[in-house]
Amino acid sequence: QLKLVNPSQYRFEHLVTQMKWRLQEGRGEAVYQIGVEDNGLLVGLSEEEMRASLKTLRRMAEKVGADITVLREREVDYDSDVPRKITEVLVRKVPDNQQFLDLRVAVLGNVDSGKSTLLGVLTQGELDNGRGRARLNLFRHLHEIQSGRTSSISFEILGFNSKGEVVNYSDSRTAEEICESSSKMITFIDLAGHHKYLKTTIFGLTSYCPDFAMLVVSANTGIAGTTREHLGLAMALKVPFFIVISKVDLCSKATVERTVKQLERILKQPGCNKLPLLVTSDDDAVTAAQQFAQSPNITPIFTLSSVSGENLDLLKVFLNILPPLTNSKEQEELMQQLTEFQVDEIYTVPEVGTVVGGTLSSGICREGENLVVGPTDDGKFLRLKVCSIQRNRSACRVLRAGQAATLALGPFDRSLLRKGMVMVSPEMNPTICSVFEAEIVLLFHATTFRKGFQVTVHVGNVRQTAVVEKIHGKDKLRTGEKAVVCFRFIKHPEYLKIGAKLLFREGVTKGIGHVTDLQAITTKENGLEESLGPGQLSF
């Protein structure tokens, strides 16, 4: 917008309608640049005009129920005596019916690079003591606290309210309070860095469908251990990532610069083709967030410390402005499809019964809805009822496509469930298969890859060992070769979709690809069964 000084009533209504539409497109967020002509010419406004324009913008925002925050101001060199400025303003709608923006960020990096500590500092709001105090609240198991190593997937939430202020666990807030007062939530998925837990890390990346990944690199060790592997995983799954160099308080400036140069060199390699952008000021952070979402080739790099708190604010500014990847139109199209929920976690909660956690990949799920879950070991689907839904630990009536949540299933027998199942609406008639074909690229293999070879296959939330039945057009594959391969699951059939991304590994063997064809098991065999009570099946 050029200027918004004292608009007429008709023009004001028109501007408000435009703002409503923009907020809907950006799922509750929009950035306005004031002092810029429609063709992108930087004109700038004088102090008085700028004040009047911001006042109008505030009035418009109030009308649609949003808040505004000034992101940054710039002076323009323009041939005039009066200094002219351009202002960027973030408009964010206060959420009604708890429709907050939800971004999922997976946290990757080598063991001991400071992933859990950084999340602890961001979500608890207090700095670390240098000996790992900040990460204690993130650990889920005793052995993690004792060894200081994450071995499971834990979730941490960080909220931003409509004014762009951080809402976290400081001031002893509970998770429900964070959800209530935030208009944007960032869910961090804390993954394991140790090589031993690689399968857990891959599962976290494939099944929780993160929007972005944050690769944490320790400034004093540089790129070591599983860093390259995690970088490769993010690239293979096409998850846009940004890099955080942690522990800068431990080492000299020269060491930090060396690590930055090392990263820049890797990112510019032909396989990566990324454009590194080192963030050193608030201005950079704003630019990085806007550019990062538009072109996935840009990789912002932050240098910070969880102990001294240096540059931590830049990361918060970046996360606050980071827009969602999908626009509202794509989400609405997904919501119109039939319900499909991926089961990633299964719990038993006292007085609630069986609870499943996961992501709704399409459709809408309401409390009290009847769905079917499967496939079981013999390829059947069982009926069940959704008793209640929780998102980020606070109750929720309706779940929309793309959101992660936990669903309570009441007295349903837990032993009938496993990770990798799907819950779908009964009229969907889901296709399940034991044998499928995929076009793959063999990334690394010690010898030749041939028929009869067993690998662990990851497709979304499915993780199972499969045998190579046939390689089309070739006898064997070597590193770097492409082929269409026929796989067969060795234990039970799974629900797959054509076009789904696929990762497989076995020891040092690794490969990526996508599913091209399924040999579906006919629907007569995959009959529905009634689940009467815990563990009783009627035939």
pLDDT digit string, tens, across residues 24-81: 888 788 889 898 888 888 888 888 888 999 999 999 999 888 888 888 888 887 666 7
Give the start-to-end residue ranges of the domains of the chain.
Answer: 9-93, 101-325, 329-424, 432-520
Looking at CATH, the fold of the domain delimited by 9-93 is given as: Translation Initiation Factor IF3 (3.30.110)
pLDDT of 265-305, one tens digit each? Answer: 999 988 888 999 999 999 999 999 988 988 888 999 999 99
Q: How many CB atoms lie within 10 A of CB 368?
A: 10
CA distances (Å), origin 439, targets 190, 236, 435, 490, 504: 31, 14, 14, 20, 12
The lowest-confidence range among 192-196, 311-315, 369-373 is: 192-196
Tokens of 56: 């109008």
pLDDT at 99: 63
Report the alpha-carbon distance of residue 322 to residue 292 in Å, rounded: 8
pTM (predicted TM-score): 0.81
Pairing relationship of beta strands 501-506 and 509-520 according to DSSP bridges: antiparallel
Can you tell me the mean pLDDT for 229-246? 91
- In 321-396, where do the E strands start and end? 340-349, 353-362, 364-366, 370-374, 381-385, 388-391, 394-396
- By C-alpha distance, which of 98, 109, 123, 105 is closest to 187? 105
> Which pLDDT band holds residue 383 (cuts at 50, 70, 90)?
very high
Length of the chain: 539
Is the model's pLDDT at 525 over the cut of 50? no
As assigned by CATH, the class of the 101-325 domain is alpha beta
Is the fold of 329-424 the same as that of 432-520?
yes
Report the alpha-carbon distance of residue 428 to residue 424 in Å, rounded: 7
Is the model's pLDDT at 506 over the cut of 80? yes
pLDDT of 453-469, one tens digit each? Answer: 999 999 988 999 999 99
Across all residues in the chain, what is the average pLDDT?
86
Beta bridge partners, 277, equal 300
Sign of CA dihedral 503, 504, 508, 509: negative
Determine contact, residues 354/369, Cβ cutoff 8 Å.
Answer: no
Amino acid at 497: K
Domain covering 432-520: architecture: Beta Barrel (2.40)
Burial class (CB in 10 A: 0-12, 13-18, 19+), 183: buried
Can you tell me the mean pLDDT for 444-451? 84
Domain covering 329-424: architecture: Beta Barrel (2.40)
Is the model's pLDDT at 349 over the cut of 80? yes
